Amino acid sequence: MNIQTRWAMLALLAVGCDAPEYAYEDDDLGAVEERMIANNGMVLNGMVLNGMVLNGMVLNGMVLNGMVLNGMVLNGMVLNGMVLNGTVFGAVQEGSNTPVSGQGLVGAVFIIERTSDNTTYELRIDAISPIPGMPDVNEYTLSARQPGVTTWESACKDGQGQAVTAIPIPDATWNEATGARIERPGAVVFACRNAALGKCVSWGYRPWAAASNRCKSDGSQCQTVDMRDAHQACTRMVRADFCGNGQTWTLNGTPLDIFDRFQTRIQDHVSDWGLEAAWTPNGAACVARYRQEGLGVPTCNGQAPAVCPGMAMHDYWSVDSITNSTWDTMPGLLYTAFPLDTTN
């Protein structure tokens, strides 16, 4: 059994992970970074929720799925009281209570124990850096090591086995079967940037950020949107999880234009592609087309998803042709469009 397979079997720091080898042509971090700098653009979707080779561990001192955080060490010194503020970790040195945070934790090793046989695993912080265009979001280069092995391997990998950075997400885990967010104060998920959880943070939908407003076209009737809901809607959107049950209806590498209609846009559309769907934390609120119709039509609780208001199913409704009055009746938090010729 190779190390990547073994880590994948242990799995819930990055809970809700499909096997990492599924992440292929959507692992385009250059495109992600370019989009964040420009605050717009097109992206590639993918089926993987997290993509970590270290699945199954939550860093909050609690036993979960047979794993427990059993300590944190930096240069031989024990660290206690780990906290995460945004994406910045902090702890104190045992004995002196000297605080250590941010870049001071490069080289720190999380000691993680499998409770069934007391086997110890290690997760090391190799580098920390802010994401370009998002100074409040840090990405982490992480390495993992299994018992009895002296060498380290990247904790996040793309489909070609290349190292990928991760973003820590506080106070939640994700159900690996359904993709549902589970509120868990004190927990930390390291989300690989090439898969849904990390991509959605990289695109600006930070679940810990201040709420945004969704208003009518004239600025009236504003509703407050919790960014945890926006992030969760994004994870459904990027994986084409129309029913919100964890089942994906897409192929890796399908191009998408993703956008929202918040009062202050986080992502705006940059194409005149046809509208696909409106997205909520529970899946698609309504659908105009399916990005990969060759995979079949989703059935959610015995019914196909609702058709978006004012539209006929399968028609090509370019985003720019949709009137403000239609947008004012459109459900959802986030939206997807894709070109006419991607449907199979």
What string of DSSP letters covers 110-160?
A: EEEEETTTTEEEEEEEEEEEEETTEEEEEEEEEEEE-TT--S-EESBB-TT
C-beta of residue 197 within 8 angstroms of C-beta of residue 32: no
Q: Are residues 181 and 225 in the same domain?
A: no
The answer to whether residue 65 scores a pLDDT higher than 50 is no
* Residue environment code for 28-53, b if the CB has 16+ CB neighbours within 10 A, otherwise e: ebeebbbbbeeebbbbbbbbbbbbbb
Q: How many other CB atoms sit within 10 Å of the CB of residue 4?
A: 18
Choosing from 195, 224, 251, the residue where a domain stops is 195
Higher-confidence residue of 313 and 279: namely 279
Choosing from 171, 195, 219, the residue where a domain stops is 195
Q: Are residues 62 and 137 in the same domain?
A: yes
Q: Are residues 136 and 256 in the same domain?
A: no
The answer to whether residue 49 scores a pLDDT higher than 70 is no
Query: Apex CA 69: angle with CA 65 and CA 72, to 5°?
Result: 160
C-beta of residue 317 within 8 angstroms of C-beta of residue 275: yes
Q: Are residues 77 and 219 in the same domain?
A: no
Q: Considering the domain boundaries, does residue 281 fall inside one?
A: yes
- Count structural domains, the chain: 2
Cβ-in-10-Å burial (0-12, 13-18, 19+) of 173 comes to buried
Query: Apex CA 200: angle with CA 54 and CA 224, to 5°?
Result: 130
> With the CA atoms of 88, 89, 92 and 98 taken in that order, what torsion angle do they form, in degrees rounded to the nearest 10?
-30
Of 127, 284, 285, 138, which is closest to residue 201 (Cα–Cα)?
138
- Helix, strand or coil, per DSSP, at residue 190: strand
Q: Are residues 168 and 264 in the same domain?
A: no
The answer to whether residue 45 scores a pLDDT higher than 60 is no
pTM given for the model: 0.81
The answer to whether residue 118 scores a pLDDT higher than 50 is yes
Q: Are residues 180 and 241 in the same domain?
A: no
Q: Considering the domain boundaries, does residue 299 fall inside one?
A: yes
Q: Are residues 190 and 243 in the same domain?
A: no
* Residue environment code for 60-82, b if the CB has 16+ CB neighbours within 10 A, otherwise e: beeebbebbbebbbbeeeebeeb
Q: Considering the domain boundaries, does residue 205 fall inside one?
A: no
The answer to whether residue 104 scores a pLDDT higher than 70 is yes
- Helix, strand or coil, per DSSP, at residue 294: helix
Q: What's the mean pLDDT in 21-40?
A: 30
Q: What is the pLDDT of residue 37?
A: 29
Q: Considering the domain boundaries, does residue 50 fall inside one?
A: yes
> 318 is in which domain, residue-wise?
210-344
The enclosing H or E element of 33 equals: helix 29-38
The answer to whether residue 105 scores a pLDDT higher than 80 is yes
Q: Are residues 72 and 214 in the same domain?
A: no
Say how many CA atoms lie within 13 Å of 41 toward its Cβ: 14
Rank 113-117, 168-172, 185-189, 284-288 by mean pLDDT and report only the highest.
284-288
- Give the whole-angstrom CA distance, residue 286 versus residue 186: 34
- Helix, strand or coil, per DSSP, at residue 49: coil
C-beta of residue 89 within 8 angstroms of C-beta of residue 106: no
- Helix, strand or coil, per DSSP, at residue 278: strand
Q: Considering the domain boundaries, does residue 320 fall inside one?
A: yes
Q: What is the pLDDT of residue 228?
A: 97
- Give the whole-angstrom CA distance, residue 130 versus residue 11: 27
Q: Are residues 10 and 118 in the same domain?
A: yes
Q: Are residues 49 and 131 in the same domain?
A: yes
Mean pLDDT of the chain: 78
- Helix, strand or coil, per DSSP, at residue 343: coil
Q: Are residues 32 and 82 in the same domain?
A: yes
What are the E-state strand segments in the chain?
42-44, 67-74, 77-85, 88-93, 99-101, 109-114, 119-131, 134-145, 153-154, 166-174, 181-192, 212-214, 223-225, 255-260, 274-280, 283-287, 334-338
- Give the whole-angstrom CA distance, residue 296 versus residue 243: 13
Q: Considering the domain boundaries, does residue 200 fall inside one?
A: no
